[in-house]
Amino acid sequence: MAAKYDLNDDKVVVIIGSGAGGGTLGNELAQKGIDVVILEAGGRHEIEDFANDEWGMFGAISWLDRRTTSGSWRVARDFAGLPAWIVKAVGGSTVHWAGASLRLQEHEFKAKSVYGDVPGANLLDWPLTLKELEPYYEKAEDKMGVTGTHDIPRLPGNNNYKVMAAGAKRLGYKEFHTGNMAINSAPRDGRGSCQQIGFCFQGCKSGAKWSTLYTEIPKGEATGKLEVRANAQALQIQHDDKGKVTGVLYADKDGKQQVQKARVVCVAGNSIESPRLLLNSASSMFPDGLANSSGQVGKNYMRHMTGSVYAIFDKPVNMYRGTTMAGIIKDEGRFDPARGFVGGYEMETLSLGLPFMAAFLDPGAWGRDFASAMDGYENMAGMWLVGEDMPQEGNSVTLHASEKDQYGLPVPNVQFDDHANDLAMRSHAYKQGSAVYQAVGATRVIETPPYPSTHNLGTNRMSAKDKDGVVNKWGQTHDVKNLFISDGSQFTTGAAENPTLTIVTLAIRQAEHIADGMAKKDI
């Protein structure tokens, strides 16, 4: 039975956001007997509300509140009001994520030491090692049912995978398979196995894909220690004159302002809203924003080096049939500066339905050349390229000087320029992706530019020293003892891998730390 807490109950841990970070942390704390209130800005859409409808679900679950963009990235031109493609709903972006669950590599935690001085990059080593995280990665993979771990068989390869794998083999790549996916290949944890429906980005209709919406959250609620308040938009984190946070001002489902008191506040609103909330919580004691003595809140925004290659063959592929991202080539994930860039990238199968393909294949394009590519849809195969981008202090989430949202608060602006290393990596990735398909007879390959960011990282980064970042190795802010960051904005650097598994891993570990600190009355 889900709990219900009083607004004046100052014993609760308040978590802002219910996605990979917030939803996991909420359940983990509730399992330890800690009282938790999750404030979720979006509504609660259950599996039965999902539809195999790309635009319909986009309208229903995406974060579409006003945002602005600046900088030279192409997203600012093609999707000026939509820097990020993330979810505003209970479950957060775990509702629409693809399920790829990869551990970060050991050297990626030491980017500054290993990559050296990269001009223009604000690199830093994580105050964490892979070894420290390994036991928590184990727990996360078990919790999420990641294929290829814990003796869980991998998913079967669909047509899109078959084409990519054949090309990879021809090219001499060694490590390719259907991935480490948080999608059941066999029934597990009360959920069925993947029915190869496709439409992974529209909410999994079978529930085979892990999402906090129907795993962590109901499990947490069943303890009687977790209340999830949907349609509750956090506006400001409040503090006392000792500099400890005391509660969260939010707008409830009717737009009425409420304050939920709190013993501890954990921010997990994804890498745009989380720094925005800290900046919007500025006070006379924290004039530059809460927990921002370093000046790093909102800085070092990362979105992964991304791009896609779609290839057209002379025979049908029907890439949209089946799991969207169950296919990976890992050979380019390594550190090998001989390629002309630091960091690595992954190649992962990807397909879009016809409606989204028209919008994203080459945004803004029109005319016979574009139309002829769309005519080849049935014969198309596709992959996503995802790699480590360089943190740059100038890439940032800031408060807009004049534009306000429906609550009268400044909207966020997302500024981004590709680093030269990002461009060199993307060019290499496009060439290799094209080569994979050309090796098996592609008649045309298309280099598709980045979509609005799905991996938003780094804007409240983790650092050993308080002057270099916003949080310590536990996600606890350097400045405020009972304030934590619990999402991907903690990432010190981006690494090459899809970030969800690491966000879940950090949340499991953070829950232990918070429970321990509360028991010892440290927080």
Which spans of this chain sit near other proteins (rule: CB under 8 A)? 51-55, 156-159, 162-163, 166, 194-199, 205-206, 315-318, 320-322, 353-355, 357-359, 364, 366-368, 370-371, 374-375, 377-379, 440-441
Please identify, using beta-carbon distances, which residue of 51 and 519 lies nearer to other proteins.
Answer: 51
Q: What is the dihedral of CA 48, 28, 498, 236, to 10 degrees?
A: 90
**How far apart are CB 156 and other proteins at their closest, in Å?**
6
CB contact set of 138 (below 8 Å; sequence gap of 6+): none
CB of 440 to other proteins, least distance (A): 5
In whole angstroms, what is the distance from residue 140 CA to residue 209 CA? 14
**Which of 81, 153, 133 lies closest to 326 in space, CA to CA?**
153
Q: Which residues contact 286 (CB under 8 A, 6 or more apart)?
A: 239, 243, 292, 479
* Nearest distance in Å: CB 354, other proteins: 4
User: Position 89: which residue type?
Assistant: A
Whichever of 182 and 357 has its CB closer to other proteins, that residue is 357
Q: Which is nearer to other proteins, 374 or 464 (CB)?
A: 374
Look at residue 353 and give its three-state secondary structure.
coil
Task: Give min distance, CB of 356 to other proteins, in A.
Answer: 9
Closest contact distance (angstroms) between CB of 372 and other proteins is 9
Residues in Cβ contact with 21 at an 8 Å cutoff, skipping those fewer than 6 apart: 268, 486, 487, 488, 503, 504, 506, 507
Closest separation between CB of residue 434 and other proteins, Å? 16
Nearer to other proteins among residue 38 and residue 194 (C-beta): 194
Quote the least distance from Cβ 1 to other proteins, whole Å.
31
Do residues 513 and 474 touch, judged by C-beta distance below 8 A? yes
Least CB distance from residue 59 to other proteins, whole Å? 11
Q: Please choose, from the candidates 422, 403, 397, the residue with its C-alpha nearest in 3D space to the C-alpha of residue 120.
A: 422
Query: In Å, how far are 31, 123, 363, 416 from 81, measured between CA atoms?
Result: 39, 29, 14, 14
CA-closest candidate to residue 14, choices 328, 225, 248: 248
377 or 484: CB nearest other proteins: 377
Opening angle at CA 462, ends 468 and 413, nearest 5: 80
Closer CB to other proteins, residue 68 or residue 318? 318
Nearer to other proteins, 170 or 513 (CB): 170
Cβ atoms of 87 and 457 closer than 8 Å: no
Min dist CB 370 to other proteins, Å, is 7
Q: φ, ψ for residue 241 (rounded to 5)?
A: -75, -5
Which DSSP string corresponds to 33-88? T--EEEE-SSB---GGG--S-HHHHHHHHB--S--EEESS-HHHHHSTT-SB--B-
Rounded CA separation 458/492 (Å): 6
CB 422 within 8 A of CB 121: no
Q: Which is nearer to other proteins, 368 or 521 (CB)?
A: 368
**And the tokens for 346?**
């992954």
CA distance 20 to 104: 16
Q: Which residue, 158 or 294, has its beta carbon nearer to other proteins?
A: 158
> In terms of CB distance, is 10 or 314 closer to other proteins?
314
Q: How far is CA 391 from CA 127, 299, 300, 421, in A?
A: 16, 9, 5, 11
**Residue 149 CB, nearest distance to other proteins (Å)?**
23
Cβ distance to other proteins smaller for residue 54 or 227: 54
Report the nearest approach of other proteins to the CB of residue 56 (Å): 9
Which of residues 314 and 336 has its CB atom nearest to other proteins in the complex? 314
Tell me how far, at minimum, the Cβ of 164 lies from other proteins, in Å.
Answer: 11
Alpha helices in 439-499 (DSSP H): none
Q: How many other CB atoms are found less than 10 A from the CB of residue 376? A: 17
